[in-house]
Amino acid sequence: MSGGPRSGRREPGATPGKAGVGSGSAGRQGAAGGTARRRGGAPGGKGAAPGAGPGRGPGASAPRARQPRSARELALDALVRVSRDGAYSNLQLNAALQESGLSRADAGLATELVYGTLQRRLTLDHWLQQFITKGFAKLEPWVLSLLRMSLYQLVYLDRVPAHAAVNEAVNIGRRRGHAGISSMLNGVLRNAVRQLPQLKAETFAGETNEVRRLSLRHSYPEWLVGRWISAYGVETAEAMMESGNEPPHSSLRINRLRTSPEQALLQLQQAGLNARLSDAAPWAGVVVARGGNLAGTDGYTEGLWSIQDESSMIVAAAADPRPGFRVLDCCAAPGGKSAHMAELMEGKGEIIANDLHPHKQALVESQAARLGLSNIQAVSGDAAELAEHFALASFDLVLLDAPCSGLGVIRRKPEIKWTKTPDDIEAIAAIQERLLDSASCLVKPGGTLLYSTCTIAEEENGKQIADFLAKHPDFSLDPEGWPAEVLEPLRSAGVESASADHFDGALQLLPQHFGSDGFYIARLKRI
């Protein structure tokens, strides 16, 4: 098994909707359908990064108001914003690409550089420390980011000529800094070039500490590697890490009020897209490979489909909302699951879609309008206080798609590896507990509470629900309430937590199961 990415290419650009960590299906798949590719495994894979040269490639859009930065400069700016200012990589990159005027190929290269450099940061730093004897402390953030990004190209991207990566770094160093910096960059990177065969071949097999070995090989923080090994064992933990380093794929949730997945599939294929029915959610999902900006497809504008991760689709389907239900979505923005529930309810009944942030109300409303759904009412408020605004025990279904640590969406937001800490998990678990307590009061007797997160931390998932059930004897897990249509593909694919022998009403999807987001979904009923 190699330590690097195995296949696939990353697509540049914007996906509408989600923002922020733990926001479920936020996208980094997307806009321009660019062409940067990684080695098919580091060490030793195949891959390509067309657009490897600086500046604009053929096919750049014109005219533009101003001279665009090169792909590398744009990527460097995004990396600095992420590591220095705490910006979210997907939002930062999407915004920069949208106004960049870069060609598809260069947008693809910039996307690859940003995500790849963030993903491999720990391993890159391990090597850089060997070349920078004075350590990183005195390096300005942009210089460190430039070193990481350049070494990433050298080690992980085939067909970016080493001299191109080094020369570009030196030129950027000269433009942004001074001769001293560019000569330091030149020295460090040429030193790395001399050792490239060893770096590319390194698997860290000689590292006797298992946690450290996997941490260096797949570039994950040791605390996370240790947690995942304890929870899942070495083999599954390693598969999670590898899968988290793969580029995400794009998927569409088909609006079954307007068309069928099969019909939509045909329409997408006829439009020249490489589409197939989703393995995880074939009842509503279509996966599109290298589809570019799916928000630009006619069917998206016409409300035939929405961009949503396959794991996210399973949440509303597991809730099984029926026409005429009164539903509360406690943490609803940007509205993916509210809209899905409204589709499943055939537009009949009522969905209150609440979110903490008033400015996100518009996101929910625009989704509903695009999909032609009139039974969603967007409101804003703290979900911990909803019991003060609505009659107790008045909803057939309450969905708590909780804010979480986002460890299931590392593929889309690799900076999560470096920004999250065990303390964050503890803090967010305490918030989730409050939200669960409040949400549960609003469920009718006989009604359903659906709890979900896009993370893989036990404190936020299984333990959270076990603690909740211990405190709330009027609730129990509800395996029988899950629609057979939803469970069947999970069982066929061998998802352990869904197996007929083990299934207790809660599902833990891991990123390697379907290549979709890691999600936890627990269906509870009020007795």
Binding-site ranges for ligand SAM (CB under 6 A): 22-24, 312, 330-337, 355-357, 360, 382-384, 401, 403
Q: How far apart are CB 157 and ligand SAM at their closest, in Å?
A: 33
Which residue spans within 273-416 are E strands per DSSP?
274-277, 285-289, 305-307, 326-329, 350-355, 376-380, 395-401
Q: How far apart are CB 411 and ligand SAM at their closest, in Å?
A: 16
Cα(147)–Cα(149) distance, rounded to whole angstroms?
6
Please tell me what DSSP assigns to residue 67: P
Q: Has 334 been labeled as part of a binding site?
A: yes
Q: Has 332 been labeled as part of a binding site?
A: yes
Cα(506)–Cα(106) distance, rounded to whole angstroms?
43
> Of the two residues 139 and 384, which places its CB atom closer to ligand SAM in the complex?
384
Q: Has 337 been labeled as part of a binding site?
A: yes
Q: What is the bridge-based pairing of β-strands 395-401 and 443-453?
A: parallel
441: annotated active-site residue:
no
> Of the two residues 32 and 368, which places its CB atom closer to ligand SAM in the complex?
368
Cis, peptide link before residue 54, omega less than 30° from 0: no
Among 330, 404, 441, 454, which one carries the catalytic annotation? Answer: 454
Q: Has 401 been labeled as part of a binding site?
A: yes
Q: How far apart are CB 310 and ligand SAM at their closest, in Å?
A: 13
- Please report the DSSP string for 9-45 in residue order: B---S--SS--STT-SS---S-SS----B--SSTTT-
> Of the two residues 435 and 510, which places its CB atom closer to ligand SAM in the complex?
435
Cα(11)–Cα(218) distance, rounded to whole angstroms?
21
Q: How far apart are CB 336 and ligand SAM at their closest, in Å?
A: 3
Q: Has 471 been labeled as part of a binding site?
A: no
Q: How far apart are CB 363 and ligand SAM at their closest, in Å?
A: 8
Q: Has 335 been labeled as part of a binding site?
A: yes
For residues 50 and 108, is the Cβ–Cβ distance under 8 A? yes
**3-class DSSP state of 383:** helix
Please tell me what DSSP assigns to residue 78: H
- Please report the DSSP string for 270-305 in residue order: HTT-EEEE-SS-TTTEEEEET---GGGSHHHHTTSE
Q: Give me the residue whose beta carbon is nearest to ligand SAM.
A: 331
End-to-end CA distance of the chain: 48
Token pair in block for residue 483:
């629609």
> Of the two residues 24 and 57, which places its CB atom closer to ligand SAM in the complex?
24
At 458, which amino acid appears? E
Please tell me what DSSP assigns to residue 522: E
> Of the two residues 224 and 333, which places its CB atom closer to ligand SAM in the complex?
333
Cα(217)–Cα(211) distance, rounded to whole angstroms?
10
Q: Has 382 been labeled as part of a binding site?
A: yes
> Of the two residues 229 and 332, which places its CB atom closer to ligand SAM in the complex?
332
Q: How far apart are CB 384 and ligand SAM at their closest, in Å?
A: 6
Cα(248)–Cα(267) distance, rounded to whole angstroms?
23
Q: Which residues are annotated as a binding site for S-adenosyl-L-methionine?
A: 331-337, 355, 382, 401
Q: What is the set of active-site residues?
A: 454
